[in-house]
Every structure is written in C-alpha cells, then in structure tokens.
Amino acid sequence: NGTGRKSSRHQSKTGRRLQEGKPVVGVLGGSKSDFPVLEKAGGILAELEIPYELLVVSAHRTPDRLFEYATAAAHRGIEVIIAGAGGAAHLPGMLAAKTHLPVIGVPIPTEHLRGLDSLLSIVQMPKGVPVATVAIGGAENAALLAAQILAGRYPEVAERVKTFRTAQTDSVLNSPEARGT
C-alpha cells in the first residue's frame, strides 16, 4: 500500500545517512561542562558506528537555539536525541516538548546535590511528554538505548548491539572473579 512505499523510501534515505556517516543521533549538553559525561555516550555511539553530533544547547542561556534545534532535528535526519543537563535541568524536557523524536535524558552530576537535582528535573515529566531518563551520569546507557531504538530500523545496528552484549557477557564470565580462580 501507499503507506508502506512511503515508509520504505524513508528507510532507504535515512539508511544512507547512517552509511554516509551523517549524524542520526543528536547529543546535546546544557553546557560545555557537561561534555566529560556526554563524551561517554559518544564513545559508545562511535563503537557501534552510529554517527552523531555533540553540541551545546542551553535551555536557559540559548532558549531560541533549543527551539530551533528541536524544530529542525527530524527534518535534518536526526532520529534520537540524547540530552544531558545539570541542576535545573530543563533541556531534555523542553526538547521533548518541541519534537516528536525520542529524547533520552542524562542527569549530570552536580557539585552541591550530586545530580539528584538533575535527576528529578529530568525524570518528573508530565504525562503526554515523555523523556526516557537514565541514571545520574549514565551517558553510556543513553547511547545504548539510542542504539536499541535505531536497531528496530537498521539491522546492522541491531547486529552491533547484540555483539556488544555478547562481548560484555563474555567479559564478565571470563573474568577471574566469575571463574573463581
């Protein structure tokens, strides 16, 4: 049917983006100071050969840029957004308010409240506007979750996620601590 044809055209267009190395994941931080945490997401995405972009977009210091990014993201070929922020961490929620793309929130650890402020700011979204929130500082899991979302569309990503999981399991099973030797 017509819907099926449209969907397969979309798939091949976005599939090419992945193969051409054009970003399909947007990794955004509220400040450059969030980058040490968010670069851990970048490391996993690179390992899984998923092209991404890493940018500062601040909900409070650059609100217009936030709206511009969220409004244009899907059209630009971005398929998942990972957003990290600390303290009054409004970036993930405001992105989710402005785009239908899945948004994964990363609470950044903070000096005074150790990221509990970030976690609560990100996780307590009102119904109707979800943000998939990972653990405080849990940028690796944000990247893996993004990969698992993309895996439904890209068989090569699904294969890489499975390989990652197998290697992780093997590494635990083969450790001296698991062998008891």
The smaller minimum CB distance to ligand RP5, of residues 46 and 88, is found at: 88
Question: For residue 123, which of 136, 110, 113, 109 has the smallest C-alpha distance?
Answer: 136
Should residue 140 be labelled a site residue for ligand RP5 when binding is judged by CB under 6 A? no
- DSSP class of residue 26 equals E
Place of tokens 């099973």: 173
Pull the structure tokens for residue 68: 């511009």
138 touches ligand RP5 by CB under 6 A = no
List Cβ neighbours of 173 (8 Å cut-off, separation of 6 or more): 179
Rule CB under 6 A: is residue 105 a binding residue for ligand RP5? Answer: no
Q: Which two tokens stand for residue 154?
A: 């890209």
Are 89 and 122 in contact by the 8 Å Cβ rule? The answer is yes
Residue with tokens 């819907």: 3
Q: Give binding residues for substrate as ranges.
A: 31, 34, 61
Q: What gap in Å lies between CA 38 and CA 27, rounded to an integer? A: 7
Query: CB of residue 141 vs ligand RP5: minimum separation in angstroms?
Result: 18
Alpha-carbon distance 169 to 157, whole Å?
Answer: 18
Q: Locate 159 and state its tokens.
A: 């294969």
85 forms part of the interface with ligand RP5 (CB under 6 A): yes
Q: Is 34 in the site for ligand RP5 (CB under 6 A)?
A: yes
Does position 62 interact with ligand RP5 (CB under 6 A)? The reply is no
Residue from 33, 71, 169, 171 touching ligand RP5 (CB under 6 A): that is 33
CB closer to ligand RP5, 23 vs 30? 30
Residues across the chain: 181
| Span interacting with ligand RP5, options 4-12, 46-54, 83-91, 128-136, rule CB under 6 A | 83-91
Rule CB under 6 A: is residue 95 a binding residue for ligand RP5? no
Q: Is 120 in the site for ligand RP5 (CB under 6 A)?
A: no
Q: Is 31 in the site for ligand RP5 (CB under 6 A)?
A: yes
Q: Which stretches of the chain bind ligand RP5, using CB under 6 A?
A: 30-31, 33-34, 58, 85-87, 108
